[in-house]
A and B are shown apart, each in its own frame.
Chain A
Amino acid sequence: MKIEVQNFKDTRSGFGDGLLEAGKRNPKVVGLTADLTGSLKMGDFAKAFPERFFQVGIAEANMVGIAAGLAIGGYIPFTGTFANFSSARIYDQIRMVVAYSNKNVKIAASHAGVTLGEDGATHQTLEDVGMMKMLPNMTVLVPCDYNQTKAATIAAAEHDGPVYLRFGRPKVANFTPADEPFVIGKAQMIQEGKDVSIFACGHLVWKAIEALPILKEMGINAELINIHTIKPLDVEAVLKSVAKTGCVVTAEEHMRNGGLGDSIAQVLALNNPKPIEMVAVDDVFGQSGTPDELLKHYHLDTPDIVEAVKKVIARK
């Protein structure tokens, strides 16, 4: 893939614009929010399709139930609130009326991870991917930039079944091609290499891209793959890459327990055990700070990926 930074944009705007586009393409697409229209960038959709937009008030449990009801009636509802209130807050509701009942509900989860920043740990979910990937029937998407989040939103609307779509707050490099369609379950090759496989998702894909020239200078030819779909995981792509490189680094803005790294480790353990290092949060809650400060503090930054690569290659 040719990496070219087009601009700096927030992934949540990718969701908002993707929702608008999905709404134009399919009159069955509807939006719901729990008092976070602006934060989720759902305003354009609400303006374009007022009759298809539901302001539920600060009542996330009710929102997901209403969404399941709309899905029963043939609609494709997208619920929009912060990731923590899209997961932990309403886990049983999602479990029963969305996942178990297999309803075509799309859970749009914004402000995920520590890059939410100053609001602190109450709002910085680092556990949501783990919770969501444990639910049968649930598809879990963690796109990496504006373009990909927009494409993922459109793909989620076209996919038949429950989807958890995770994205974030800050403006970050927008580098994937605008016209690249999002294929659920198909890992995205960013750079081919032979010495180590880096599997990243979300904001950490860009951090991994920044690590590539540093690694090259050290004589390490790294392969970087964007795992934008945590579930269903592209097991074939993972195993193919590992067969070539023989070691793995995972990078994500999530707790190590339950995250992307733990999914990849399971694939390795079951199929082709190889050394693995995980760039992830190690069993602590977040805190207030700027997104950049927090990425550094929790060792989710470019130098941390470089270190992990060095370490895992030494273990080969």
Chain B
Amino acid sequence: MTINELKDVASQVRRDIIRMVHGCQSGHPGGSLGATDIVTALYFDQMQIDPKNFKMDGAGEDMFFLSNGHISPMLYSILARRGYFPVAELATFRRLGTRLQGHPTPVEGLPGIRVASGSLGQGLSVAAGVAQAKKLNGDNHLVFCLMGDGEQEEGQIWEAVMYVPAKNVDNLVAIVDYNKKQIDGPTDEVMNLGDLKAKYEAFGWKVYECNGNDMQQIVDTLNITRKNAHKGQAQVILAHTEMGMGVDFMMGTHKWHGTPPNDEQAANALSQLKETLGDY
């Protein structure tokens, strides 16, 4: 896809996010909006996938894991827009009986979801196991894993960060949604992550940085990581993002981490986001 086409998809995804969390008056718009561009690039440009024939084991396909499961509206919209399931189903988000649970789960059989997430800190371990299964299976496809920056405070992350280079898991690309915010406030205040780049490097990773809301930079960076995969190097992208990206009053604050907009706010937000693919 061209960069402009990717931007159009991202705009629609952002509309979907607003409409989903507004519709059920719950969910996490801030992180979802911030991470939209990265995951759009993955699903619409980067990953080799077969959405119409979803396979749990992902054999012969690239695979994505969302460790910070609370930004599920973003993932659900992208999966639906990419053809994993009907976009109309986005209207059921967080409602009784839905496959689109508050946090992603394979239990309801939603195509595109392979493991539950929502309890933070666990996705990188799972993704590493999947990547190792790919190696055992002689499958050259890649595994991508998105994590939150606040999520980096979980100890299990660092168990996995130590594991991946030590065990030469070089078919995995980790991405940090580096928006410098979490529930209680700026990450610097809640628990200063310090020099995250140096920390990953000290654990043996190759670290890339990009503006995680600049589609061209995202695509360029992902292209590099794909080229450098399978070369004995653990790879992580620190994607500098803006929580609430695309909706002016949701940016520059952590307040929209897990707060839905009211009717007026939703209308305001939607007026800032172009409808490109048709609302669900």
Instruction: Give 1 or 0 for each of A92-116: 1 = CB within 8 Å of chain B CB.
Output: 1101110011110000000000000
Q: Are the C-beta atoms of A72 and B130 separated by less than 8 Å?
A: yes
Is B86 an interface position by the 8 A CB rule?
A: no
Given the interface pairs A59-B162, A59-B163, A61-B156, the reply to whether A66 lies near B129 with Cβ below 8 Å is yes
CA of A97 to CA of B163, assembled, Å? 18
Q: Which chain A residues numbered 78 to 101 have a C-beta less than 8 Å away from chain B?
A: 92-93, 95-97, 100-101
Is A65 an interface position by the 8 A CB rule?
A: yes
Selecting from B21-29, B110-118, B266-274, the interface stretch reads B110-118
Q: Are the C-beta atoms of A68 and B133 separated by less than 8 Å?
A: no
The smallest beta-carbon distance between A80 and chain B, in angstroms, is: 15
Name B's interface SS: helix
CA of A147 to CA of B68, assembled, Å? 44
Is B58 an interface position by the 8 A CB rule?
A: yes
Given the interface pairs A69-B125, A92-B119, A97-B116, the reply to whether A75 lies near B133 with Cβ below 8 Å is yes
Is B277 an interface position by the 8 A CB rule?
A: no
Chain A residues contacting B137 (CB-CB under 8 Å) are: 73-74
Chain B residues contacting A75 (CB-CB under 8 Å) are: 133, 136
Q: Are the C-beta atoms of B56 and A62 separated by less than 8 Å?
A: no
CA of A67 to CA of B115, assembled, Å? 12
CA of A95 to CA of B114, assembled, Å? 15
Chain B residues contacting A61 (CB-CB under 8 Å) are: 121-122, 125, 155-156, 159
Chain B residues contacting A63 (CB-CB under 8 Å) are: 125
- Among candidates A52, A57, A96, residue contacting B117 with C-beta atoms closer than 8 Å: A96
Q: Which chain A residues numbered 18 to 74 have a C-beta less than 8 Å away from chain B?
A: 30, 51-52, 54, 56-57, 59, 61-74
Given the interface pairs A61-B159, A101-B116, the reply to whether A69 lies near B129 with Cβ below 8 Å is yes
Interface size class of B (residues with CB under 8 A): 35 or more
Q: Are the C-beta atoms of B57 and A73 separated by less than 8 Å?
A: yes
- Among candidates A57, A64, A69, residue contacting B130 with C-beta atoms closer than 8 Å: A69
CA of A260 to CA of B163, assembled, Å? 37
Instruction: Give 1 or 0 for each of B37-60: 1 = CB within 8 Å of chain A CB.
Output: 000000000000000000011110
Chain B residues contacting A101 (CB-CB under 8 Å) are: 105-107, 115-116
Given the interface pairs A96-B116, A100-B107, the reply to whether A68 lies near B159 with Cβ below 8 Å is no
CA of A265 to CA of B117, assembled, Å? 35
Q: Which residue on chain A has the smallest CB distance to residue B106?
A: A101
- Among candidates B106, B133, B163, residue contacting A74 with C-beta atoms closer than 8 Å: B133
Q: Are the C-beta atoms of A69 and B127 separated by less than 8 Å?
A: yes
Chain A residues contacting B159 (CB-CB under 8 Å) are: 57, 59, 61-62
Chain B residues contacting A92 (CB-CB under 8 Å) are: 119
Q: Are the C-beta atoms of A65 and B118 separated by less than 8 Å?
A: no
Q: Are the C-beta atoms of B122 and A72 separated by less than 8 Å?
A: no
The smallest beta-carbon distance between B114 and chain A, in angstroms, is: 5
Q: Are the C-beta atoms of B122 and A97 separated by less than 8 Å?
A: yes
Q: Are the C-beta atoms of B107 and A65 separated by less than 8 Å?
A: no
Instruction: Give 1 or 0 for each of B107-147: 1 = CB within 8 Å of chain A CB.
Output: 10000001111110111111111111110110000000000
Chain A residues contacting B130 (CB-CB under 8 Å) are: 69-70, 72-73
Given the interface pairs A61-B155, A72-B58, the reply to whether A96 lies near B163 with Cβ below 8 Å is no
Q: Which chain B residues numbered 183 to 208 have a C-beta less than 8 Å away from chain A?
A: none
- Among candidates B57, B132, B156, residue contacting A93 with C-beta atoms closer than 8 Å: B156
Chain B residues contacting A52 (CB-CB under 8 Å) are: 136
Q: Using a CB–CB distance below 8 Å, which chain B residues touch chain A?
A: 56-59, 105-107, 114-119, 121-134, 136-137, 155-156, 159-160, 162-163, 166-167
A-B contact pairs, 28 of them (CB 8 A): A30-B136, A57-B162, A57-B163, A61-B121, A61-B122, A61-B155, A61-B156, A62-B128, A62-B156, A62-B160, A64-B125, A66-B125, A66-B126, A66-B128, A67-B129, A68-B125, A69-B126, A69-B128, A69-B129, A72-B114, A72-B130, A73-B132, A74-B57, A75-B133, A75-B136, A96-B122, A102-B107, A103-B115
Apart from the given pairs A68-B125, A69-B131, A100-B105, 4 other A-B contacts in the complex at a CB distance below 8 Å? A57-B162, A61-B122, A64-B125, A70-B129
